[in-house]
């Protein structure tokens, strides 16, 4: 078991905490800027921040759906088109890092680069063309960074809690003891299904019957991949707590709230009824691609992938039957920033 640092990122909009600790300064005399870049199977996300009290204040951010892992499930390699899209996004990130005079940064790549036969070649090309050095992290480190970045939003209570991150190429599940300020990891599991890999392997269907069969296939694959972890999970003596971080949970939370456009201030930290999130998942799975694309906060970019996320979420709710689901619009990037700032303190 590994202890996490006690200091946690503060939600945007929260009142800043007072701190007697002097803030690090850059060579130019201003507060130092730190950056975290998370390149996943589906998204490229950058966060630039400066220390602020016991947390940090966001200076700049960037997020783009790049679908780096598109076709990976069938070909075993990153496609030329996916690589070009991703490098274009990383050039934007590199420009932001230069303009913001970032003094310390960490950039990580996850499941797509772990799995792809040309993953290391891609990493070398990114460094040559953008100057960004991507570190391919293990599934275990990915899980721990996600927990470090978001567990402050866990619903109050006692007993073990489950934190999950539905990615593009994998899903990380982490069982933690959170009865103290510093949570302790009791167990973790990485399943090889994310919204991209599961969609490419089992998704699709034009008719209602085909969509239903596809959703059933996805649910079965997820349950099979979760089975080893399910066998190890304890039966909680208190109501189980559940917290999710990913585009899937934030998108479903937006649908639950009836938002016309995504609003982080309403989504990050939301506690939603698990039954409502399950119902939304089943309704989205029954819709056609065009019907999903017309929904606010889903649109064309997420319409084809959201159903796989729904299947994974339902599998998690089967695994850990919490009555409520905590939603976090934060995760790996915030965990990286926390570690960088703790190291420099």
Residue 2: pLDDT band (50, 70, 90) is very low
- Mean pLDDT, residues 295-304: 92
Q: Which residues contact 297 (CB under 8 A, 6 or more apart)?
A: 251, 254, 255, 259, 260, 261, 262
- Mean pLDDT, residues 41-69: 93
- Domain of 210? 152-328
Question: Considering the domain boundaries, does residue 240 fall inside one?
Answer: yes
The domain total for the chain is 1
**What global pTM score does this model have?**
0.86
Contacts of residues 78-82 at CB distance under 8 Å and 24 or more positions apart, as own/partner, are: 78/112, 78/113, 78/116, 78/118, 78/119, 78/122
Question: Considering the domain boundaries, does residue 291 fall inside one?
Answer: yes
Measured CA to CA, the distance from residue 338 to residue 334 in angstroms comes to 6
- Mean pLDDT, residues 55-76: 93
Q: List pLDDT tens digits, range 185-206.
A: 999 999 999 999 999 999 988 8
Residue 54: pLDDT band (50, 70, 90) is confident
- Mean pLDDT, residues 70-84: 95
Q: Using CA atoms in the order 67, 73, 77, 82, what is the torsion angle rounded to 10 degrees? A: -20
Measured CA to CA, the distance from residue 252 to residue 250 in angstroms comes to 6
Residue 344: pLDDT band (50, 70, 90) is low
Measured CA to CA, the distance from residue 228 to residue 230 in angstroms comes to 6
For the record, the structure tokens of 65 come out as 């759906």
Range with the poorest average pLDDT among 54-58, 180-184, 277-281: 180-184
Can you give the pLDDT at residue 9? 34
- Mean pLDDT, residues 223-249: 94
Can you give the pLDDT at residue 86? 98
Q: What is the largest CA-CA distance in the chain?
A: 64
Question: Considering the domain boundaries, does residue 116 fall inside one?
Answer: no
Question: Considering the domain boundaries, does residue 262 fall inside one?
Answer: yes
For the record, the structure tokens of 332 come out as 């790996």
Question: Considering the domain boundaries, does residue 9 fall inside one?
Answer: no
| Predicted confidence (pLDDT) at residue 24 exceeds the cutoff of 60 | no
DSSP run (H or E) holding 126 = helix 119-130
Question: Considering the domain boundaries, does residue 303 fall inside one?
Answer: yes
Question: Considering the domain boundaries, does residue 46 fall inside one?
Answer: no
DSSP run (H or E) holding 143 = helix 139-150
Question: Considering the domain boundaries, does residue 156 fall inside one?
Answer: yes
Can you give the pLDDT at residue 4? 31
Tell me the DSSP string of 302-324. Answer: HHTTHHHHHHHHHHHHHHS--SE
Q: Which residue has the tokens 């409520």?
A: 324
- Mean pLDDT, residues 323-331: 96
Range with the poorest average pLDDT among 5-19, 59-73, 320-334: 5-19
What's 245's domain CATH number? 3.30.420.150
Contact 123, 97 (CB under 8 A): no
């Amino acid at each position: 078991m590994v202890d996490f640092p006690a200091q946690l990122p503060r939600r945007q909009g929260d009142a800043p905490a007072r701190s007697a600790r002097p803030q690090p300064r850059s060579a130019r005399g201003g507060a130092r800027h730190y950056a975290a870049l998370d390149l996943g199977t589906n998204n490229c996300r950058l966060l630039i921040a400066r220390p602020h009290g016991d947390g940090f204040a966001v200076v700049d951010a960037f997020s783009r759906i790049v679908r780096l892992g598109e076709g990976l499930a069938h070909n075993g390699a990153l496609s030329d088109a996916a690589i070009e899209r991703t490098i274009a996004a990383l050039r934007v990130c590199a420009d932001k890092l230069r303009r913001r005079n970032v003094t310390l940064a960490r950039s990580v790549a996850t499941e797509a680069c772990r799995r792809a036969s040309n993953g290391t070649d891609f990493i070398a090309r990114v460094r040559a063309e953008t100057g960004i050095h991507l570190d391919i992290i293990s599934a275990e480190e990915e899980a721990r960074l996600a927990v470090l970045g978001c567990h402050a939003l866990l619903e109050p209570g006692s007993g073990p809690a489950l934190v999950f991150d539905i990615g593009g190429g994998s899903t990380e599940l982490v069982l933690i003891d959170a009865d103290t300020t510093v949570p302790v990891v009791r167990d973790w599991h990485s399943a090889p299904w994310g919204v991209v890999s599961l969609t490419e392997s089992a998704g699709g269907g034009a008719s209602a019957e085909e969509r239903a069969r596809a959703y059933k296939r996805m649910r079965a694959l997820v349950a099979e991949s979760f089975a080893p972890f399910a066998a190890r999970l304890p039966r909680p003596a208190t109501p189980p707590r559940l917290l999710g971080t990913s585009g899937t949970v934030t998108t479903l939370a937006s649908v639950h709230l009836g938002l016309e456009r995504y609003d982080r201030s309403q989504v990050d930290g939301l506690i939603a009824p698990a039954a409502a999130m399950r119902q939304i998942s089943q309704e989205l799975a029954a819709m056609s691609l065009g019907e999903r694309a017309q929904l606010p906060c889903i649109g064309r970019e997420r319409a084809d992938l959201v159903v796989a996320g729904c299947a994974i979420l339902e599998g998690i709710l089967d695994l850990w039957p919490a009555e409520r689901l905590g939603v976090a619009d934060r995760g790996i990037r915030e965990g990286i920033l926390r570690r960088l700032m703790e190291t420099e303190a």
